[in-house]
Amino acid sequence: MTAPDRATAERVGEALVRERLAACANVLPGITSLFWWGGELQRAEEALVVLKTPAERVEALFARAVELHPYEVPELLALPVEAGLPAYLEWVGREARLDGPVGRRS
């Protein structure tokens, strides 16, 4: 997910982690994005947020991210994990769980 600035990236990322929709959010500030929008080539300085969540949580994560995000159409992509350290993957599953403590419900 991209965000217009570091503060927004951290705010949205933190909310998704607090709400147990993601186990982790990595914020990488200072990226340059080039894209078409409104029929024109755009250039934007943004922050990239890499979110880790199990496949079964992606839909809920996307829905909540859209609510929190200031962009009309936020960049939300789910990339498959082909392999990972089993202990890390277990941790992601444990921390981004449906029955975990949630900071917001509604």
Q: Answer whether residue 27 shows pLDDT above 90.
A: yes
Reported confidence tier of residue 28, pLDDT bands at 50, 70, 90: very high
Q: Write down the mean pLDDT value for the chain.
A: 93
pLDDT at 106: 35
In a domain, 84, yes or no: yes
In a domain, 102, yes or no: no
| pLDDT over 70, % of the chain | 92
pLDDT at 98: 72
In a domain, 106, yes or no: no
CA distances from 87 to 13, 91, 92 (A): 23, 6, 9
Reported confidence tier of residue 104, pLDDT bands at 50, 70, 90: very low
In a domain, 39, yes or no: yes
pLDDT at 101: 54
Domain enclosing residue 40, as ranges: 2-95
In a domain, 23, yes or no: yes
CATH number for the domain spanning 68: value is 3.30.70.120
Chain CA centroid to CA 63, Å: 11
Number of domains in the chain: 1
CA dist 98 and 94 (Å) reads 9
Q: Do 38 and 77 contact (CB within 8 A), yes or no?
A: no
